[in-house]
Amino acid sequence: MGGDSLQRTVIVRNIFPIGTGRRNSIKTNTGLQAALLFALLPLAAVLLAFILPYGAALSAGFRSSGSAGTGVTGGAAFSALANPALLRITLFTLGQAGLSALLALGLGLPGAWLLGSGLLRENSPGTRFIRALTSVPFAMPPILVVLGFVLFFGNSGWANRFLAALGGAEDGPLRILYRPGAIVLAHGFYNFPLVIRLVGDGMARARKAYAPAAETMGATPFLTGLTILFPLVLPSILSAALLVFLYSFTSFAVVLVLGGGPGATTLAVEIYRYARLSLDYSNAGALALIETLIASAVFMLYLRIERRTGNTLEIRDRFPDERRSAGGHIALIVYGVLLFLFVLGPLLSVPLESFLYKPSRAALPQVSARWWLSLGERILPALLRSLLLAGLSATLASVLAILAAGAASNLRFVSQSPGKAHGKSPLAALIRIFATAPLASSGIVLGFGWLSLYGRDHSRSLWAAVVLHAVTALPFAFNSISRGLESIPPNTSNAASVFGANPLKRIITVEIPLSMGRLRSAWGFSAAISLGELNAVMMLGLEDWETLPLLIYRAANSYRYGTACAAGTMLILACAGAFLLSEFGVKQKGGSHGY
């Protein structure tokens, strides 16, 4: 009886609200206060750790250089383009990024056609295998990709060994390392799985939405692909090309290891050299401003294409009568073998080489645990430092993301109040802009900004690296947690408010526990980003705080590949563990990262 009475009371209050205007006003004010309280820390963190340092880095380009013969000698960064050396560096940076995008498209579009054209069953083992392989580069730090590339395609690499044995020669024919072409090849091989994933998914959406109708009207699969699928998937191709271009344009570790000479250097590497080695902040700022302007223009073009296209095609359930052809299976096998060689080949070379030892250059490799016997000297301490840095930065990024996403969620809840005009909150838009702003930034420019704004003494600390890594991972953590909060039914939040929970209590006791899977995913992804991050540690000058990526770079740079491979194997295991945690958090609640 008491339960029925309570139920009737709740129903009556919902139908005939008493003092609705006053309670809605109180609810709105309380919700806004809670949102402001939640948003204060992440907004301040992004302002102090990202916006102000980035502004300091760019403003340094307008200062007088005062150094002769170092490249840029003017106060305005635009006049720096009149310098032949800087113009050559800028053109090379643009050229290698463009060639890398073309190579990634050439390698990735056939795979995207196989996955998205319907020639094969969508859930077949072959297609699942290719999709799994396309996820591998996303889990691997750039320094590991460079190390694997050197071990597999180097002068004494596995590809040359195989070709030499095949032709009966002493040495293989491949001579591509430490040349401009090596940079393009590394960027292309590293990024072409992105093309497969983006274009393949776009083609699958287009096919499932329009291909059945076209085939009903008598169109052949080739005609359907040429006249319907290709025009619809063209924006996905452009988006993938722009992303590859942007990644290659701002790349640092790949160019630092494989290039870096006078004829093969990029803006990012020169910013590092001017700021860290020459202490010429004016020239570094000019280069940073040029890089930021170009990268921002490319990123805005990418966003414009994404906004104009979007995911307007509905993904229906799988068709039971998807086409299967013998030619498609043959193409899948051939492409799968090539994908295995180019993706897993370099990656598997790292742990394999860690168990091989050559007594001399002419001797054959021998199976040995030599590099693992010295595990405790440098590798294990570096691993512990990396894990500590990753744990601290992932925790900070997750806390900031929870506060920012909670504030945005609370503002959405307030905007849905009865009697409140529904619309987008300007404060929620500001929070989202601040939380995702680091997504389009360069780690080298951000590290230089810290040096320029806070000085070398304050920047060379563990906590500076923790904050930089956390800010870098914040956009991914924010997007993941926001999707979790947005997936909570409005009735759940309304029920908590009906029973007297204030906004703070509702978020802490209801919404965050319901989004715990997304929180674990955000923490794991943020930790994986920090584990492989090299830019901030090198730019801040933390020589004494040697992490695994820094140890790998130093060992590979001094041709101690055994030590580099042992450290790389530990980094592979650490990153794989972090990504497994991230994937487990997402799959437990369903959905995808949305990164």
Q: Which CATH superfamily is domain 30-57+87-351+375-589 in?
A: MetI-like (1.10.3720.10)
pTM for the model stands at: 0.79
Q: What is the pLDDT of residue 328?
A: 58
The answer for residues whose C-beta is within 8 angstroms of residue 355's C-beta and 6 or more apart is 367, 368, 369, 371, 372
Residue 280 · residue 62 · CB < 8 Å: no
Residue 366 phi, psi dihedral angles, 5° rounding = -120, 145
Q: DSSP assignment, residue 542?
A: -
Q: What is the pLDDT of residue 24?
A: 46
Residue 18 phi, psi dihedral angles, 5° rounding = -100, 125
Low-confidence residues in the chain, pLDDT < 70? 1-32, 34-35, 63-82, 116-127, 138, 168-170, 172, 211, 214-215, 218-226, 260-263, 308-329, 332, 360-363, 412-424, 489-508, 583-595
- CA–CA dist 422, 417 (Å, integer): 8
Please name which of 431, 344, 388 lies closest in space to residue 527, comparing C-alpha atoms.
388
Q: What token pair was written down for 574?
A: 């650490």
Q: Which amino acid appears at position 50 of this protein?
A: F
Across the strands, what pairs with 267? none
Q: What is the pLDDT of residue 94?
A: 94
Domains of the chain, residue spans: 30-57+87-351+375-589
- CA–CA dist 560, 545 (Å, integer): 20
Q: What is the pLDDT of residue 470?
A: 93
Q: What is the pLDDT of residue 228?
A: 73
Give per-residue pLDDT as tens, 368-412. Answer: 888 888 777 889 999 999 999 999 999 999 999 988 888 887 776
Q: What is the pLDDT of residue 20?
A: 44
Q: 3-class DSSP state for residue 239?
A: helix
Could you tell me where the DSSP H helices lie in 250-280? 253-258, 267-272
Please name which of 533, 536, 520 lies closest in space to residue 578, comparing C-alpha atoms.
520
